[in-house]
Chain A
Amino acid sequence: MSNLPVAQLLVEADVAREAAALDATWRDKSGVWGWLCAVEQKTIARRYIITTFLMFLAGGMEAALMRLQLARPENALIGPDRYNQLFTVHGTTMMFLFAVPMMQAMGLYLVPLMVGARSIAFPRLNAFGYWNYVVGVVFLYVSLFINMGPDTGWTAYVPLSGPAYSPGHRVDVWAQVVTFTEISALCGAVNLIVTVFKMRAPGMSLNRIPVFVWAQLVVAFMIVFAMPAVATGSTLMLALDRAVNTHWFNPAEGGDALLWQHIFWFFGHPEVYIIFLPAIGMITPIVETFCRRAVFGYTAMVMANITTAFFAFGLWVHHMFATPIPELGQSLFTAASMVIAVPTGIQIFCWIATLWGGRPRLTVPMLFVLGFLFTFINGGITGVMLASVAFDKEAHDTFFVVAHLHYVLIGGGLMPLFGAFYFWFPKLTGRLLNTALGKLHFWLFVIGTNVTFFPMHILGLNGMPRRIYTYAETTGWGTLNMLATVGALTIALSVLVFLINAVRSWFSGEHAGDNPWDAAGLEWATTSPPPSYNFVHTPVVRSRHPLWETTVEQPVVTGLRSDRREILLTTTFDAQPDSRHVGPDGSIWPLYVALCMGLLFIGSIFSPYSVLAGIGISLIGLFFWGWQSTQDVEVERVALPDGRMVDRL
Chain B
Amino acid sequence: MKPLRSSADVSALPSVTFGPRSLMWWGTLGFMTIEGWTTALLVGSYLYLRQNYHGWPPLRTPNPSLLIPSINLALMLVSIVPAWMVARAGKRLDEAAVKKWLVISSIVSVPTLVLRWYELWALNTRWDTTAYGSAAWTIVGFHTSLLLLDICDTIGLAIFFHAKKLPIKACSDAADNSFYWYFTVGIWVPIYLIVYVGPRIF
Contacts and interface: CB of A to CB of B under 8 A. Distances in A.
Interface of A: 2-10, 12, 15, 121-122, 125, 186, 189-190, 193-194, 197-198, 202, 224-225, 228-229, 231-232, 236-237, 240-241, 244-248, 250-251, 253-256, 259, 262-263, 514, 525, 527, 536-537, 540, 551-561, 566, 568-569, 572, 577-582, 615, 619, 622-623, 626-627, 630-634, 636-642, 645-646, 648-649
B93 A648 contact: yes
Interface string B103-142: 0000000000000000000000001111111110110001
B41 A263 contact: yes
Contacts of B148: 615
Interface in B1-43: 1-23, 26-27, 30-31, 33-34, 37-38, 41-42
Interface stretch (B46-54, B62-70, B179-187): B46-54
A263 B133 CA distance: 19
A553 B4 CA distance: 6
Given A121-B23, A580-B13, A622 B156 contact: yes
Given A194-B27, A202-B8, 8 more contacts: A7-B6, A7-B7, A194-B26, A224-B34, A248-B131, A636-B168, A638-B15, A638-B17
Interface of B: 1-23, 26-27, 30-31, 33-34, 37-38, 41-42, 45, 48-49, 52-53, 58, 91-93, 127-135, 137-138, 142, 148, 152, 156-157, 160, 165-170
A332 to B, nearest CB: 18
A277 to B, nearest CB: 19
B14 A649 contact: no
Contact of B27 (A122, A255, A648): A122
A630 B27 contact: no
A250 B127 CA distance: 13
A256 B52 contact: yes
20 contacts: A6-B9, A122-B27, A194-B23, A224-B37, A228-B41, A232-B41, A241-B134, A246-B138, A255-B134, A537-B6, A556-B6, A557-B8, A558-B11, A559-B11, A569-B23, A627-B160, A630-B166, A630-B170, A640-B93, A641-B91
A254 B11 contact: no
A639 B21 contact: yes
A639 B167 CA distance: 14
A202 to B, nearest CB: 7
A254 B52 contact: yes
A557 B37 contact: no
Contacts of B7: 6-7, 540, 555-557
Contacts of A232: 38, 41-42, 45
Contacts of B3: 9-10, 12, 552-554
A557 B45 contact: no
Contact of B5 (A253, A514, A556, A626): A556
Nearest to B59: A254
A557 B128 contact: no
B45 A639 contact: no
Given A244-B127, A244-B128, A263-B41, A190 B31 contact: yes
B131 A639 contact: no
A61 B32 CA distance: 40
Contacts of B49: 248, 254-256, 259
A623 B9 contact: no
B160 A225 contact: no
A247 B26 contact: no
A559 B10 contact: yes
B59 to A, nearest CB: 9
B14 A4 contact: no
A8 B6 contact: yes
A253 B127 CA distance: 11
Nearest to A624: B156
A258 B135 CA distance: 15
A637 B16 contact: yes
Given A190-B30, A248-B135, A559-B11, A554 B38 contact: no
A259 B52 CA distance: 11
B89 to A, nearest CB: 12
Nearest to B134: A246
The winner among A186, A259, A525, A638 for most chain B CB atoms within 10 A is A638
B83 to A, nearest CB: 16
A537 to B, nearest CB: 6
A10 B5 contact: yes
A632 B13 CA distance: 19
Contacts of B152: 619, 622-623
B165 to A, nearest CB: 6
A649 B165 CA distance: 9
A7 B7 CA distance: 5
B10 A568 contact: yes
A578 to B, nearest CB: 6
Nearest to A538: B10
Contacts of A582: 15, 169
A391 B135 CA distance: 36
A631 B5 contact: no
Contact of A580 (B10, B30, B142, B166): B10
Given A2-B9, A558-B6, A256 B131 contact: yes
B134 A569 contact: no
Contacts of B4: 9-10, 15, 536-537, 553-556
B10 to A, nearest CB: 4
Contacts of A244: 127-128
Contact of A247 (B9, B16, B130): B130
Contacts of B17: 569, 578-579, 638-639
Contact of B167 (A248, A579, A632): A632
B112 to A, nearest CB: 17
A235 to B, nearest CB: 10
Contact of B168 (A514, A554, A626, A648): A648
B76 to A, nearest CB: 21
B5 A641 contact: no
Contacts of B53: 254
Nearest to B33: A224
Nearest to A227: B34
Contact of A254 (B92, B132, B169): B132
